[in-house]
Amino acid sequence: MAPKTVSFTTFNLYNLNEPGLPVYSDTGGWTQVEYDLKIAWTARMLQEMRADVIGFQEVWHAASIDAALKASGLDASHVALVPEGHAGQMIVCGAAVDRSILVGEPRWIAFFPEEFILKSRGDDPQAGDVEVNIRRFSRPVLHFQIKPHSKAPVVSVYVCHFKSKGPTAIFREPWYVKATHQPHTEAIGGALSTIRRTAEAMALRMMVTKEMKGTDTPVVVLGDCNDGQHSNTLNIMTGQPRFLTALSEGGGDTDLYTAQTLQQYRSQTDVYYTHIFNDTRESLDHILISQEFYDNSKKRIWAFDGLTIANDHLNEDAHKETGSGDHGVVRARFKYMPAKAILS
């Protein structure tokens, strides 16, 4: 019998690398004790979420993913998607997918689409020229396909990790003059990070739009977007669709809908947060779904069946001591329930 539900999780692994290998400027990386704690905690999260599709960010080493899956028991049902030979040399997005629904081979996308361009002379006489020369993602985007139901079409899944809000370091730049620029390093660095994150959102948006437009291809984006639900980053990614429509009469050909908003419509309060910085709770980790997963869409195939967040660990900052991550883990589940227009 075909499965009645399909579930998706987005999970930032907080620099999961093998012990003793460098992590950024930390040349010693995780100790064996710290690594063992990270694997144990990661395994508990995987067991708790039990999702069919798990999108990972901050994947450093294939062996670490294999270890976490084995410790969780999911290695019997899920296959790890990590680039061949990935052994601590760079950071990528990865996944663990129920092998019974995986279709074809995964691919990692490092470069923006050829048609990507961010250049303008301004749309009014007072606006100055703008030109952004970014051609690749900070973290390669993972793309793969699944077929979770025999009567439903193949679903296209993307896993992304956009540039963080943290200010970009500028003191090594050839133009940097300490006396001039040091007082403004936070502002300049923050602006650079925002520009890069915006460009990455636009590039991925172009990719998913090309896949969705006029095709009725279901699309899911799992990501640490490093920005909030109503940020410009998410507005670019989603197309800012209309949510409050009559049952089975809405939907947009290239729109993406946030699982966070779908959950909020079913809750009396908004308690969604996946990251804490300076005591500010915000949602950086998102599950975005096309109209085929949106309840009120006339082209609905899958109906929203709830969202779960594991985020209690964010209330303590002792991640090394506990093995925990610095982001919440988000799962959304959908049940097979095509709209009448689809069935007729």
Q: Which domains can be identified in the chain, with CATH numbers?
A: 5-343 (3.60.10.10)
Cβ neighbours of residue 8 closer than 8 Å, sequence gap 6 or more: 51, 52, 53, 54, 55, 157, 220, 222, 287, 331, 332, 333
The closest alpha carbon to 41, from 8, 82, 83, 72, belongs to: 72
Mean pLDDT of the chain: 91
Query: Token pair for residue 99?
Result: 């092998």
How many Cβ atoms from other residues are within 10 Å of residue 281's Cβ?
15
Mean pLDDT, residues 251-269 = 83
Q: Kindly give the interhelix angle for 62-72 and 32-49, rounded to the nearest 10 degrees.
A: 60
The DSSP call for residue 228 is -
**Does 273 score more than 90 pLDDT?**
no
Query: Please, are residues 110 and 136 in contact by the beta-carbon 8 Å criterion?
Result: yes
Residues in the chain: 344
pLDDT tens digits for range 278-333: 777 888 899 999 999 998 898 999 999 999 998 888 888 889 899 999 999 999 99
Q: Are 339 and 297 in contact (CB under 8 A)?
A: yes
SS (HEC) of 12-73 = EEEEECCCCCCECCECCCCCHHHHHHHHHHHHHHHHHHCCCEEEEEEEEEHHHHHHHHHHHC
What is the model's pLDDT at position 53? 98
Whole-angstrom Cα distance, residue 315 to residue 318? 9
Residue 54, pLDDT above cutoff 90: yes
Query: Over 60: is that where the pLDDT of 344 sits?
Result: no
**Cβ(234)–Cβ(200) under 8 Å?**
no
Q: Which of 223, 217, 205, 208 has its CA nearest to residue 301?
A: 217
Average pLDDT of span 96-108: 97
State residue 89's pLDDT score: 87
Higher pLDDT, 122 or 226: 226
Residue 49 phi/psi, 5-degree rounding, is -80, -40
Q: For the chain, give percent helix, strand, coil, nearest 5.
A: 30, 30, 40
Confidence of residue 249 (pLDDT cuts 50, 70, 90): low
* In the chain, % of residues over pLDDT 70: 95
Mark out the alpha helices in the chain (DSSP H runs). 32-49, 62-72, 178-181, 185-212, 232-238, 259-264, 319-322, 340-343
d(Cα 236, Cα 199) in Å, to the nearest integer? 10
pLDDT of residue 138: 95
